[in-house]
Amino acid sequence: MIKINGSNTPRAEGKTILDYLESSGYVPLRVAVEVNNTIISRDDFDKYIISDNDEIEIVAFMGGG
């Protein structure tokens, strides 16, 4: 099972990180992604394919003041 931000997310398997981010409403330039305790470079979002047992954390940057 794939966990994203602590929730089981079976629909992510086989997608690239970029595909998952875009289909989930994230703006790829405004997030950081960690897979299995390793930060994934934005340049690799379209190369990394999400697999069973991956644990992913997505952190979105917010503006404000």
Q: What is the pLDDT of residue 64?
A: 72
Give per-residue pLDDT as tens, 41-63. Answer: 999 999 999 999 999 999 998 77
What is the 3-state composition of the chain as percent helix, strand, coil, each rounded to the nearest 5?
Answer: 25, 30, 45
Could you report the per-residue pLDDT of 5-50, keeping only the tens digit for each? Answer: 999 998 999 999 999 999 999 999 999 999 999 999 999 999 999 9
pLDDT at 41: 98
Domain boundaries, the chain: 3-60
The bridge status of strand 38-40 relative to strand 31-35 is antiparallel
pLDDT score, position 63 = 73
Q: Would you mind telling me the total number of residues written for the chain in this entry?
A: 65
65 pLDDT band, cuts 50/70/90, is low
- CATH top-level class for 3-60? alpha beta
Beta strands per DSSP E along 2-64: 3-4, 7-8, 31-35, 38-40, 55-60
